[in-house]
Amino acid sequence: MFKRLCTLLLSLALLCTVGAGAAHAQPGKRVFNAMQIIFSPSLPDLFCTLGAVGGDKYGHKIAITAGHCLDDPKYADHEIHDDIAPVYDRADAGFGPIGYVRYFKDPEGSQTGHVTKDYMVIELVPQVTPSAQGPYLKQTGEVKVPGGTVSPNALTPALDNERLLATGSNEIITSGQTGVWYGTVMDNADGVYRSPAANMRGDSGGPAIWHVPGTDLPSQANNFQASGPWAGITKGITLALPPFLYTSSANILADLRARDTATAGGVFGAGFEVTTNP
């Protein structure tokens, strides 16, 4: 079972990053799925992982990860417009912030239960370049399921990218600390997928793609590379079998659209699309 990485998000971020955010970021740095991220350079072992990188309908560069990576009831489920919660590349904290948290949602029990809205929106800084290519997975847009079961977070009528993969007949491919894994979607409880595709602590928020039928699965022959549309992000581990949970991209995209519709001026991440940059 994962532990939450930070309590009191903003007090911790401010205390731990005084001076650290003064680094002057140089242009051109790639930000990609499966990049490990931290919220303070002084806490490199408390990390999560990026699940998808792209842009929103308002022109912001956006990355998506798990909401339970941070925990502060005062700021959870609210837009954060100020740059008070920086995010760093764990492998290159000296670059300075790659972005700032704009929203996170972490209801109690989100890591082990079927909570549908466990996600975080990060606005990336102008100096970085979003990339669709991670260490193992290349993301090709978003999963779209015409006529499929609708996410519980969706408005009516739902969009195709707000519909869920059917269980028993679809596989997801994931990427994390132990490499790349794949497994069948065995259960779907309100848009939270259960699969034998493995993850571990620190992989929270990391990428899952849909294995498009007829395309190659990762193997030694192809250097464990795979490509497909973004299907979701790593959520956590439970005692049930198979134990690994993933929040569907359908849940995230549907909730972003619903919040955008209800919020004057809109929200960061609304209309999110995975980048086409290599």
Is 243 exposed, middle or buried (CB count within 10 Å of its CB: 0-12, 13-18, 19+)? middle
Full residue range of the structural domain in which residue 183 is found: 137-267
Co-location of 143 and 248 in the same domain:
yes
Strand (E) or helix (H) holding 87: strand 86-89
Question: Is 276 contained in some domain?
Answer: no
Tell me what pLDDT residue 26 has.
57
Report which of 103, 135, 110 is spatially closest to residue 33, judged by C-alpha positions: 135
pLDDT at 111: 53
- pLDDT tens for the chain, 278 residues long, are 333 344 434 444 433 333 333 344 456 799 999 999 999 999 999 999 999 999 999 999 999 999 999 988 889 999 999 999 999 999 999 999 999 999 999 765 555 556 789 999 999 999 999 999 999 999 999 999 999 999 999 999 999 999 999 999 999 999 999 999 999 999 999 999 999 999 999 999 999 999 999 999 999 999 999 999 999 999 999 999 999 999 999 999 999 999 999 999 999 999 999 999 99
The residue out of 130, 160, 181 marking a domain boundary is 130
Amino acid at 203: D
Q: Are residues 120 and 152 in the same domain?
A: no
69 and 26 in a common domain? yes
Report how many domains make up the chain: 2
Q: CATH number of the domain at 68, please.
A: 2.40.10.10
Using only the alpha carbons of the chain, give its radius of gyration: 17
Domain co-membership, 210 together with 166:
yes
| CATH assignment of the domain containing 197 | 2.40.10
**122 shares its domain with 179:** no
Check whether residue 194 and residue 228 sit in a common domain: yes
Please say whether the beta carbons of 170 and 155 come within 8 A: no
Domain boundary among 130, 163, 180: 130
Residues sharing a CB contact under 8 Å with residue 94, sequence separation 6 or more, in sequence order: 23, 41
Same domain, 217 and 164: yes
Same domain, 242 and 167: yes
Element holding 166 (H helix, E strand): none
